[in-house]
Amino acid sequence: IAVPSRLRFTPPPSKPLLSTRLTVKDISDVEGIQTCPDSRENLRLFPPATTTALAIQTLINAGCQIIGMSQMCSTVLKQETAQSVEFLAPFNPRADRWQSPSGGSSGQGCAVAGHESVDFAVASDCRVLPSGTVIAVLISFSSNIQWTYARASC
């Protein structure tokens, strides 16, 4: 997977997150990409997004580069890797790689924990986010606005 260079430079004030790499949970619209919330039927029924979600567009405008859409468990519920029906659930990259990733935002936790090329992941917070990221030994952040931003869960 080709990713932006990590050569060090001072980002301009207009793009404070220049070259920051992120993945986006597969429930957020990104123009030109088909969102499938872990359902093959969604791929059949819905065309690619025609706009980008405001939260994601804000990150892009600040210089972030999306390097992928990260998986989620079916219907945003806790799902064991072996119980996935339509798509393979994310594998937890920690320990023996068979520990449950847990939670609807498990793909985002696993992406950050398992790949040095991912700086952070955008996920949703429905009181499930901390479990998926804490199980993968990460810190999750959120705020009181409608997308994930800044709350430490340790």
Q: Which pLDDT score is estimated for 42?
A: 81
Domain-wise residue ranges, the chain: 21-135
Among 37, 19, 20, residue whose Cα is nearest residue 28 = 37
Number of other residues whose CB lies within 10 A of the CB of residue 51: 11
Verdict on whether the full-model pTM lies above 0.85: no
Q: Which pLDDT score is estimated for 50?
A: 94
Q: Which pLDDT score is estimated for 82?
A: 61
Among 96, 94, 108, residue whose Cα is nearest residue 38 = 108
Q: Which pLDDT score is estimated for 25?
A: 86
Per-residue pLDDT tens for 66-98? 998 887 766 555 556 566 666 766 777 766 666
Give backbone dihedrals phi and psi of 23, rounded to 5 degrees, phi first.
Answer: -115, 155
Among 98, 104, 109, 100, residue whose Cα is nearest residue 78 = 104
Please count the CA atoms within 13 angstroms of the CA of 96 that sit on its side-chain side. 3
Which residue ranges of the chain lie beneath pLDDT 70?
Answer: 1, 8, 73-86, 88-89, 94-104, 125-154
Q: Which amino acid is at 98?
A: W
Q: Which pLDDT score is estimated for 129?
A: 46
